Amino acid sequence: MFIKQAFKVEHDFWRYLIGSVVILIAALIGQMPLLLAIIVKGMQNGGSGLDSITEESMYTMLDSNLFLFLMLVSFLVAFVGLFFVAKFIHKQTMTSIATSRPRLDWKRIWFAFVFWGVLSSGMVLLDYFYLSPENYEFNFEWKRFAILAVIAVSLIPIQTSLEEYLFRGYLMQGFGTVTKDKYFPFAFIYSILFIPFFVVLNIINDLNLLSNLFLGTAAILFGVLVFQLLKKFSFFESKTNDSLRSVCKRNWTPILITSIIFGGLHIANPEVGKLGYSIMIFYIGTGLFWGIMTIMDEGMELALGFHAANNLFTALLVTTDWTVFQTHSILKDISEPELGMSDLIVPVFIMYPILLFILSKKYKWTNWKDKLFGAIEESPKEDYKIVE
């Protein structure tokens, strides 16, 4: 139901491509104040501009409150871009991107926010007071914390909401509609083969921007060549392609694609450099967690609450010197950054399934197999019913 309702609006895939570009441009425009502030600060420190700024120094050149504010502004501008795209390119409301209900269910949002906020904060405080107090130092400065609280409470929900609207809403619905296209299996399989190869090549050779552009262009051209050859031999009208379409045009496909993209966009975060690329399992797993939650609940209200609580309570409660959110929080984690397999297995493969089980009991989720693996069918507009 949640994905199918995208068929009620202008859902040609070229619209999603253009829309994604517009949102990206809006985000880049929103990043200009931060970039300008970093350049000015770098020049004041004796640098000559961008050449003197490293990835590590970028996060520490400005006061953390100012850096956080300017970084979050880009999400606000991107949100405006998403609103423009929905209204003028897809003729769609923001509500229909977020939920299959007639309006956002704020009770669901607040329940998820409070539930995960209390649970996640409780785990940090348990670690601080009892399990590993030596890993923390008290970092509270009330003036700086007060400024942080205003910035965080005002803008972090916008940041997390944009990511949910974009990944669990806009793109999930977009990929859901395009799965019906006869060319989709080729694009899907080609992406699955190329993207991991591209990432591994980057890791091994540490490619620069020019090399990345060359490799990306070559991959696109090669993909076009293969596509034309398959088209020439009528592969897309074959039974094999029909079978692939039957496998791909199911709800699991947009959940998986958006989760991989969501995780992949975190690859530039400084914690990836500190903890290694295995942390991508956590990021992609978290995307899957919120994606499954959205599909089962027929809306992303729970994901909105979870995501907002996760980022907001983290920003206010604990910080480190090596994460993307470096804030004037109450506590500072001073332990040596390391990531064991248990740190990945426990949240992704144990905690997330338990949370889904709890939510399924509270909201009476049923028919898991059909909702997660059922076929995406385009239904007539009159067949749609509102989920209460």
Residue 76 covered by a domain: yes
Residue 334 covered by a domain: yes
Is the pLDDT at 266 greater than 60? The verdict is yes
Same domain, 25 and 58: yes
pLDDT tens-digit profile of 229-239? 999 999 999 99
Same domain, 20 and 63: yes
Residue 388 covered by a domain: no
Residue 244 covered by a domain: no
Same domain, 208 and 332: no
Among candidate residues 308, 262, 305, the one with its CA nearest the CA of residue 157:
308
pLDDT tens-digit profile of 49-94? 555 566 666 767 888 999 999 999 999 999 999 999 999 999 999 9
Task: Report the C-alpha gap between 236 and 223 in whole angstroms.
Answer: 15
Same domain, 82 and 127: yes
Backbone φ and ψ for 36, nearest 5 degrees, come out as: -65, -40
Same domain, 69 and 50: yes
Residue 241 covered by a domain: no
User: Higher confidence at residue 149 or residue 193?
Assistant: 149
Same domain, 212 and 128: no
Same domain, 352 and 372: yes
Residue 242 covered by a domain: no
Same domain, 230 and 263: no
Residue 84 covered by a domain: yes
Among candidate residues 384, 376, 383, the one with its CA nearest the CA of residue 181:
376
Give the distance, in angstroms, between the CA of residue 155 and the centroid of all CA atoms in the same chain. Answer: 17
Confidence of residue 262 (pLDDT cuts 50, 70, 90): very high
Is the pLDDT at 311 greater than 90? The verdict is yes
Same domain, 220 and 147: no
Same domain, 42 and 191: no
Same domain, 146 and 90: yes
Residue 239 covered by a domain: no
Task: HSE, CB side, 13 Å, CA atoms: give it for residue 237.
Answer: 4
Same domain, 169 and 265: yes
The count of other CB atoms within 10 Å of the CB of residue 154 is 12
Domain total of the chain: 2
Q: By residue range, what is the domain housing residue 368? A: 4-180+249-381
